[in-house]
Amino acid sequence: MPTSSSEIQSLTTQSNNLSASIDRWNSSYVWFGGIALLIALFVFTAQFIIIRKSRLLATVQGNLLAAKDRELQIDLRDKDVQIAGLHAEASRHQQLLEEAALQISHAGADAAHANERAAEANRLAEQERLERTKLEAEIAPRRLSQDQQTAIALIINRYNGRRVRVSSYSMDAESAVLAKQVVSALNKANLQVVDATASISPVGGFALGIIVTGTNVQLASALRSALSLNGNLLVAPADTPMSGGMQMVYGVSGPSPDAEILIAVKPPTM
């Protein structure tokens, strides 16, 4: 009889110990489950904020590009006023030339003097014409006409299906408009075009002209030739690096392209 009572007491003790252990583990499970739930909630909230701010960044960059384009239009209008002034000055010198010619026809004695005035008028008119031409070339934005886009597409069409990325600097409205036209030409050639317009922010320097690189050497060479010959654009040689310094790239993902076109800053006229 005492042996049975001792056995019962031992089993009761084990049962109580196991129950206490289970209670502790249950409490731990509840605490850690709550912590895991809080972590999951924090991750979800952080991801939501990141997505929201990314969309806001895209909107701000779009507004910035539009503002830069408006500023460019205002600058072009100012340059048009300057060109109009040069035209007026050229007309005045042309009038001087006509007056000099009239004096030559009516005054034989003053022929030498009139010829001298005519030569000076010619010199001034030619100087004005050269300055006007230089100014027009300097302020004119790079553009591709519909005929040029079609000509480029016909040259590149044999590479249809290849992946090409077209990018430009985020603060350059002139390059962004040209990049969109290059994208349109490549779409006509049935290439897989990745439009990365205004996706690059240069840090410490920037490239000039148009730079074409790629793992597909033949495609890159054909692009350089088409943009240069058919698009009448200044394209850098094959060994030109893609950037003029450090740069930050936004919104570009997916597999590596067969070729990449960087529409960089318009080079100054010589």
Higher-pLDDT residue of 222 and 125 is: 222
Higher-pLDDT residue of 20 and 221 is: 221
Average pLDDT on 59-88 reads 79
CA distance 164 to 111: 67
Do residues 93 and 124 share a domain? yes
Do residues 106 and 153 share a domain? no
Do residues 155 and 221 share a domain? yes
User: In this structure, is residue 48 part of a structural domain?
Assistant: no
CA distance 243 to 213: 11
Q: State the pLDDT at residue 27.
A: 84
Q: How confident is the model at residue 178 (pLDDT cuts 50, 70, 90)?
A: very high
pLDDT exceeds cutoff 70 at 135: no
User: In this structure, is residue 51 part of a structural domain?
Assistant: no
**The domain boundary residue, chosen from 90, 124, 139:** 139
Locate all alpha helices (DSSP H) within 166-266, ordered by sequence: 173-188, 217-225
Q: How confident is the model at residue 71 (pLDDT cuts 50, 70, 90)?
A: confident
Do residues 100 and 206 share a domain? no
CA angle 74, 78, 80 (to 5 degrees): 115
User: In this structure, is residue 151 part of a structural domain?
Assistant: yes
Q: State the pLDDT at residue 138.
A: 61
Average pLDDT on 223-248 reads 84
Do residues 133 and 226 share a domain? no
**The domain boundary residue, chosen from 96, 116, 139:** 139
pLDDT exceeds cutoff 60 at 238: yes
User: In this structure, is residue 43 part of a structural domain?
Assistant: no
Q: How confident is the model at residue 1 (pLDDT cuts 50, 70, 90)?
A: very low
CA distance 121 to 115: 10
Do residues 107 and 210 share a domain? no
What lies within 8 Å, CB to CB, of 120 at 6+ separation is none
Q: State the pLDDT at residue 243.
A: 65
Do residues 157 and 102 share a domain? no
Q: How confident is the model at residue 108 (pLDDT cuts 50, 70, 90)?
A: low
The token pair that represents 112 in the structure block: 């030498």
Of the given ranges (13-22, 155-164, 226-235), which has the lowest mean pLDDT? 13-22
Instruction: Report the mean per-residue pLDDT for the chain.
Output: 84
User: In this structure, is residue 244 part of a structural domain?
Assistant: yes
Average pLDDT on 107-121 reads 72
Give me the number of domains the chain comprises. Answer: 2
In 3D space, the residue among 71, 94, 86, 72 whose CA is nearest the CA of residue 136 turns out to be 86
Residues 171 and 199 sit within 8 Å (Cβ to Cβ): no
State how beta strands 163-169 and 210-213 pair: unpaired
Do residues 259 and 159 share a domain? yes
Domain range for residue 130? Answer: 68-139
User: In this structure, is residue 217 part of a structural domain?
Assistant: yes
User: In this structure, is residue 19 part of a structural domain?
Assistant: no
> Which DSSP string do the residues of 108-138 spell out, in sequence order?
STTHHHHHHHHHHHHHHHHHHHHHHHHHHHH
Locate all alpha helices (DSSP H) within the chain, ordered by sequence: 2-106, 111-139, 146-156, 173-188, 217-225
DSSP H or E run through 259: strand 259-263
pLDDT exceeds cutoff 70 at 88: yes
Average pLDDT on 223-237 reads 95
Do residues 194 and 259 share a domain? yes
Do residues 125 and 170 share a domain? no
Average pLDDT on 150-176 reads 95
Do residues 157 and 182 share a domain? yes
Do residues 232 and 185 share a domain? yes
> Could you tell me how far CA 89 lies from the centroid of its own chain?
39
**The domain boundary residue, chosen from 110, 139, 168:** 139
pLDDT exceeds cutoff 60 at 246: no
pTM of the complete model: 0.52
In 3D space, the residue among 89, 171, 168, 174 whose CA is nearest the CA of residue 124 turns out to be 89
User: In this structure, is residue 36 part of a structural domain?
Assistant: no
